[in-house]
Amino acid sequence: MNPLERILDVESRVNAGALTVDQAAAELSSGPKYWHTPWWKAQRKERLGVSCATCGTASPPLVLQHTWHPRSWREALQEAGPLNWQGWRERHPLPKVERPTVPPTERPVCPTCGSVRVYYRKKAKDWACSVGMSGAPHERHSDHTFPKPATALRTDTLGIRKRNRVATGKYEALSRARWQAWLNSPEYRENQLNALRLRIEDFKRYLSFVDTKTLCRRCAAREDHRHILRNQRRAAQRTMEIARAEFDALE
Ligand SMILES: [Zn+2]
Ligand SMILES: [Zn+2]
């Protein structure tokens, strides 16, 4: 079977329900790479024109170049319609994680300026106020050491940190559970199947060689460069979308 026949064969078995998405994907990625097959080389030879479509030169070497490329698996999953992960997330928002208010707590403070930045000095066996000792000029004070600190109600920094840790853990657990639910949902299987169908359509088009043109080496290199730039832009866009989605999830 040549690569196109293999695709058609996989497609007919998928449509008949004889192949799962995973089996089909495995079959499509196994076997010889299509560009290594004699069939591929023959197709190219047959379609190669006599002059470069861009600059018109007829001097060899001339190459046959595809002007259209199949979507990546990831793009296919994204485009497989409303049954994708993005849509699932929107229809299954995570419950809000409670962040209870942490009341102020009794903390040791400097008896002169009230700062909480006090510490015990082992050698001198007394306490010191780091603000009074080395804070901003207008905050410093001379009696920055004292035998005992005062106590006062202040923000419970440790309590807040602990509360935030607990909230983050709860959020992550909810988020993991939602992802698992998606993987186990009928929508997920439908999404995979639709994406597989898009990929098969793409490869049928690609292997039909309809979107090809003859180019000289130099024009081909220039086109490749443009294609790479386009892909890089797409990759950057995707990274930004993911970052934005994660940021939204934090709110
Ligand atoms: Zn050219
Ligand atoms: Zn002080």
Kindly report, residue by residue over 219-238, the tens digit of the pLDDT. 888 887 777 777 777 777 76
Distance CA 177, CA 186 (A): 16
CA atoms within 13 A on the CB side of 56: 0
Find which of 77-86, 123-132, 181-190 is predicted with most confidence, using mean pLDDT. 123-132
- Report CA(161)–ligand 2 centroid distance (Å): 24
Considering every ligand atom shown, identify the ligand nearest to the alpha carbon of residue 52 and give its number.
1
Residue 16's pLDDT is what?
A: 93
Flag the least confident range among 48-52, 162-166, 220-224, 240-244.
240-244
Helix axes 3-15, 186-207, angle to 10 degrees: 150
Q: DSSP characters for 188-241?
A: HHHHHHHHHHHHHHHHHHHHTT-SEEEEEHHHHHHHHHHHHHHHHHHHHHHHHH
Span 134-158, average pLDDT = 95
Task: Output the CA 234–ligand 1 centroid distance in Å.
Answer: 27
Considering the entire predicted model, what is its pTM? 0.67
Tokens of 158: 């440790």
- CA distance readout (Å), 128 to 18, 105, 138, 153: 78, 21, 17, 19
Q: Is the pLDDT of residue 248 over 70?
A: no
Residue whose pair of structure tokens reads 């060689």 in the numeric block: 209
Task: Map tokens 């004699």 to a residue.
Answer: 38
- Reported as a pLDDT band with limits 50, 70 and 90, residue 251 is very low
**What pLDDT shows up at residue 67?**
84
| Position 250 pLDDT exceeds 60 | no
How many CB atoms sit inside 10 A of residue 93's CB?
A: 9
What are 71-107's pLDDT values in tens digits? Answer: 888 889 888 878 888 888 899 999 999 999 999 999 9
Quote the ligand 2 centre to 114 CA distance (angstroms): 6
* Backbone region of residue 136 per phi and psi (left: phi > 0; alpha: psi in -120 to 50; beta: other values): beta
The mean predicted confidence, pLDDT, of the chain is 89
Centre of ligand 2 from the C-alpha of residue 120, in Å: 13
Q: What pLDDT is stored for residue 249 in this prediction?
A: 54
| Alpha carbon of 250 to ligand 1 centroid (Å) | 51
Q: What is the DSSP string of 42-95?
A: HHHHHH--SS-TTT---PSPEEEEES--PPPHHHHHHHS-TTSHHHHHHHSPPP
pLDDT digits (tens, 9 = 90+) for 5-39: 999 999 999 999 899 988 998 888 887 888 888 99
pLDDT cut 70: percent of the chain above it: 94
Query: What distance in angstroms lies between residue 211's CA and the mean position of ligand 1's atoms?
Result: 17
- Give residue 164's pLDDT: 94
Mean pLDDT throughout 152-167? 95
Percentage of the chain surpassing pLDDT 90? 62
Distance from residue 144's CA to the centre of ligand 2 (Å): 6
Per-residue pLDDT, averaged over 117-129, amounts to 96
CA of 148 to the centre of ligand 2 (A): 12
Structure tokens of 168? Answer: 């983050």
